[in-house]
């Protein structure tokens, strides 16, 4: 979305169309129900975990967490213990936190700095770039080839200052994978944005119950009456579906001149363009990364499965010109307001899970506003393999003509 005058006009025309329509577009297909078993069946969720989660690009953290050569942090959100480190040349790398002797951990804390890693169990030593350099009582090993015993690396690539990892060594490069989104995200100068805050929330439901809520605005008038619904016009929202399950949702403000009073006086991203500066734009990098960007700070949401019926939400913020030693006092209010909105979204999740597991629920009849959810599920089946999904859990592939390369 290169925001020249013609593009801006097209965006406003699309918003006006969405507000004025009395039915979905004529070319929009009827969406079959999403089978409820996709949220509860252990065998389906096992396929999801093995075929999708373990092969996806997943946000691991921010470069501010590893500011110096030798800085590292440990993440377990992917389900595997993964060590993210800045090596002596400044390159960001990722490895399984697994000694190649007998599998003991190299680190046991969540973050730190080191000149290398030493296994606490038997003392095997590794460099910051993963090479095995020393073994205790080397004389007792027969034919031990150090070059074959390096730490097992994990694909690790940057999106600006954001670190993504992928356990699939054959995965498509991250920027190629997100396609048209990559060009659009350039306007935010992600490489210049500092980490402001990060906190997590444990919720008793399948991870998709939570994720679904952040892929639509159909719920605004019900649970956000005193917050988001006061300034967003959900009827003017429009969606862009991109390849590989990614998507964008653009929701206009109720008043074109409206500005969040809590951000007045905060530094702005100088390169941001008109449409995201004056509307609510939310990007989704498949499967679990949601970024509702704004001109003075960007929340980064991730939704992680912790079991078949429990999940973790991680909410982080990045912003321009943030000084952690002298933080802007406005951030306390802004983060408190954001957390209030999050709790509104999370409030029904455990009860929804309870209902999904009952005989009272069979499937989800999604509407046009909720098509990002259906798009997400179509992509899940493609990643699992269309012929590998059990028939009772399968979703029909009906949105292919709604996906754009632009």
Q: Are strands 71-75 and 298-307 parallel, antiparallel or unpaired?
A: unpaired
**pTM here?**
0.95
Contact present, 208 and 311 (Cβ < 8 Å): no
Contact present, 61 and 75 (Cβ < 8 Å): yes
pLDDT at 302: 98
**4: confidence class by pLDDT, cuts 50, 70, 90:** low
237 closest CA partner among 282, 195, 192: 282
pLDDT at 2: 52
**265: confidence class by pLDDT, cuts 50, 70, 90:** confident
pLDDT at 3: 53
pLDDT at 29: 96
Beta bridge partners of 310: 307
pLDDT at 225: 83
**231: confidence class by pLDDT, cuts 50, 70, 90:** confident
Domains in the chain with CATH codes? 5-55+193-402 (3.90.380.10), 58-159 (2.102.10.10)
For the residues 146-171, what does the mean pLDDT come to?
A: 97
Query: Given a cut of 90, is residue 51 above it in pLDDT?
Result: yes
74 closest CA partner among 88, 84, 64: 84
**What is the C-alpha separation between 272 and 378, in angstroms, rounded?**
32
The model's pLDDT over 341-394, given as tens digits with 9 standing for 90+, comes to 999 999 999 999 999 999 999 999 999 999 999 999 999 999 999 999 999 999
For the residues 95-106, what does the mean pLDDT come to?
A: 97
For the chain, counts of helices (H) and of strands (E): 10, 19
pLDDT at 253: 86
Query: Given a cut of 60, is residue 1 above it in pLDDT?
Result: no
In this structure, what DSSP letter does residue 403 have?
B
Phi and psi of 307, rounded to 5°?
-165, -175
- Listed in sequence order, the DSSP H helices in 264-324 are 274-278
pLDDT at 228: 81
Contact present, 290 and 58 (Cβ < 8 Å): no
Query: Given a cut of 80, is residue 297 above it in pLDDT?
Result: yes
Does residue 150 or residue 11 have the better pLDDT? Answer: 150
**103: confidence class by pLDDT, cuts 50, 70, 90:** very high
pLDDT at 254: 82
Query: Given a cut of 60, is residue 83 above it in pLDDT?
Result: yes
**What is the C-alpha separation between 393 and 379, in angstroms, rounded?**
14
For the residues 5-27, what does the mean pLDDT come to?
A: 90
Query: Given a cut of 60, is residue 242 above it in pLDDT?
Result: yes
What value does the mean pLDDT of the chain take? 94
Does residue 118 or residue 265 have the better pLDDT? Answer: 118
């Amino acid at each position: 979305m290169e925001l020249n005058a013609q593009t801006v006009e097209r965006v406003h025309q699309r918003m006006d169309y969405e507000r004025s329509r009395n039915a979905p577009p004529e070319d929009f297909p009827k969406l079959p129900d999403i089978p409820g078993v996709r949220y509860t069946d252990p065998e389906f969720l096992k396929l999801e975990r093995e075929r999708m989660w373990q092969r996806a690009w997943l946000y691991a953290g921010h470069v501010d967490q590893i500011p110096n050569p030798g800085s590292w942090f440990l993440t377990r959100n992917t389900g595997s213990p993964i060590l993210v480190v800045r090596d002596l040349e400044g390159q960001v790398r990722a490895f399984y936190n697994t000694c190649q002797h007998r599998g003991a951990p190299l680190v046991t804390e969540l973050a730190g700095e080191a000149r290398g890693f030493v296994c606490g169990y038997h003392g095997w030593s590794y460099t910051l770039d993963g090479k095995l350099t020393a073994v205790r009582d080397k004389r007792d090993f027969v034919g031990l080839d150090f070059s074959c015993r390096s730490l097992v690396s994990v694909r690790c690539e940057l999106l600006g200052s954001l670190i993504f990892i992928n356990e699939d060594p054959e995965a498509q490069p991250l920027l190629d994978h997100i396609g048209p989104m990559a060009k659009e995200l350039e306007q935010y100068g992600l490489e210049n944005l500092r980490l402001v805050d990060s906190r997590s929330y444990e919720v008793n439901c399948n991870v998709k119950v939570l994720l679904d809520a952040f892929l639509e605005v159909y719920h605004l008038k019900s649970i956000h009456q005193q917050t988001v619904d006061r300034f967003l016009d959900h009827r003017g929202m429009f969606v862009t579906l991109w390849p590989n399950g990614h998507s964008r949702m653009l929701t206009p403000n109720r008043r074109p001149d409206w500005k969040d009073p809590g951000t007045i006086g905060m530094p702005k991203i100088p390169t941001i363009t008109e449409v995201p500066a004056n509307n609510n734009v939310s990007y989704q990098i498949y499967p679990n990364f949601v970024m509702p960007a704004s001109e003075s700070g960007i929340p980064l949401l991730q939704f992680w499965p912790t079991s078949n019926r429990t999940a973790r939400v991680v909410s982080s913020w990045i912003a321009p010109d943030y000084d952690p030693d002298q933080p802007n006092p406005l951030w306390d209010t802004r983060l408190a307001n954001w957390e209030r909105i999050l709790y509104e979204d999370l409030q029904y999740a455990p009860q929804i899970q309870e209902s999904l597991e009952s005989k009272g629920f069979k499937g989800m009849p999604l509407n046009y506003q909720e098509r990002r959810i259906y798009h997400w599920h179509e992509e899940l089946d493609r990643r699992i393999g269309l012929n590998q999904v059990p028939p009772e859990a399968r979703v029909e592939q009906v949105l292919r003509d709604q996906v754009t390369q632009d």
